[in-house]
Structure 1
């Protein structure tokens, strides 16, 4: 979006003009569920009430799906996997703090609140003997990896889709966007500019080989309009959710079997993936091409084939 070429004063001035319209409250219907599944809730101390989707009609080791973190994230990002796996495994999909149907209260959002939410969910809701098979997308890979490193009993295996933290440069937004994200009211107005329907469609198009999934676009627009929707995404833009040197602190220490699926991603790099596979014998990688960060949308069959083959190596 050319943010690196803009001065902070320019961005603040432009966004400030948008504040009255951006912050105007309007009556709207409650946000609809992202998935066609039962919705339940769990109360947590640090993140408030969290929503999750569940289908436990099938037997077996539970699968836990964790969506990514972006301006308009939700469990809709995991819909293809949820729909494909329900009926053959118990499946859970968690709306992370500040996203989807989960509470979006005014509280500090940092990586610890997301790690704690995943830990609490696995401990008190899923409660799988021997741990769950966790599938995480993008930045949520860092949260899942941290929980696996801290409490191995909660995680039986990990599948990481286009994980962050494997590039040689620190991830995150430009310095201008990080600075603006810390200015009250201006930050919220900036968020409203970033989540207009054309903007959301433009950003999502970068993550698809072809046209973005219409349902994903539609739900992203809807969830971004919820009160408080700006809070967690602004923490993401400010860089509060990433783990410094996730390669060494998390991925090389992973104590559970881990599959990384990747190809090209406009938001993440995999420069150190080969090094990781060499350093940690529990980690393997498979390329799902052609994809651009959402392999389970662009190439669902290939993604499922790789995941099922990985799980079959050690089903219990």
Structure 2
């Protein structure tokens, strides 16, 4: 069973190591085979007809549920929404251990089972950002009856490089690189440098493709990246261990309705390999005139497009 405690709206605090809640609603702490997980939930007093919505943040040096905050706070007014913090990020367990594709996928499946404890076995809608799209797609491929629809925001796995993987198993992990990052003499210091406010702003500028970034996200990124053990999961990320070589096969195996969206600015604009799914009856692809976080930059337009997609998804009866 999860333990829930009410939380207030998060406030990005400067000059402190305290990590506030990234979103509103109830905070849940659960033990699981992949360690202690944190997720948040909220919804209207009178539940609507829509199934639950699960939101999953991206993977980077400073990832947290704050990355899905605009969607969480919007949808909580009309349906029950959940925001998961993956192992190694946010308020979830950040210990020094092996962080793998399997761990991240299992964390999503654990969250789905928690939602089923609340709602029964009705198929849910789920949305993930960037690399976490790969984990969510894999979770869907392994437990398809648990999901009604899948949304991928700026997903990885569609670049020119991915087109040439031949759907091989394994990851892009480089053990020597991870050992270099984790070398005790400089592991902590290098991560503090990597997550200085100036460097975080630099990477957000590259994500947005503009200097007009979300300042609240910048503040929260700085706080979450300065929690104890914050470097371990990101080091597995930058060493390639969380990128699957077989993700084109996973994407191609999906049969439920899939909504994919991406922007046209910044560092994340190579979607050459989307041609493998473009035109499929169950795939809808929407391009926004934004960077890689369209739900921050063009929130109203993003939500309208996502809602239009959801309106065409067959409904499942609520238990």
TM range (shorter): 0.7 to 0.9
Displacement of 1:181: 2.5
- Structure-1 separation of matches of 2:185 and 2:136: 32
What is the number of equivalent residue pairs in this alignment? 286
Q: What secondary structure, in the 3-state scheme, does the structure 2 residue paired with 1:277 have?
A: coil
> Which of residues 42, 50, 69 in structure 2 aligns to 1:55?
42
- TM value normalised by structure 2: 0.83
Deviation track 1:240-282 (CA, whole Å, cap 9, x = no partner) reads: 11111311x211011211000012251462101122124x432
- Structure-1 separation of matches of 2:174 and 2:245: 17
Compare 59-68 and 188-197 and name the one that shifted more: 188-197
Deviation track 1:212-256 (CA, whole Å, cap 9, x = no partner) reads: 111100000000110000011000011111111311x21101121
Is the Cα–Cα contact under 8 Å of residues 173 and 242 in structure 2 kept in the other structure? no
Displacement of 1:53: 1.1
Displacement of 1:205: 1.4
Displacement of 1:177: 5.9
Please list every run of 5 or more consecutive structure 1 residues that lacks an aligned counterpart in the other structure.
Answer: 1-27
Change (3 A) 1:120 1:236: same
Displacement of 1:37: 2.2
Please list every run of 5 or more consecutive structure 2 residues that lacks an aligned counterpart in the other structure.
Answer: 1-15, 163-170
- Structure-2 separation of matches of 1:268 and 1:150: 29
**Alignment correspondent of 2:239:** 238
- TM value normalised by structure 1: 0.84
Change (3 A) 1:185 1:136: farther
1:297-308 matched pairs, under 5 angstroms: 297-308=296-307
Displacement of 1:180: 2.9
**Alignment correspondent of 2:97:** 107
Q: What secondary structure, in the 3-state scheme, does the structure 2 residue paired with 1:269 have?
A: coil
Displacement of 1:183: 3.2
Q: Does residue 43 in structure 1 map to residue 66 in structure 2?
A: no
**Alignment correspondent of 2:63:** 73
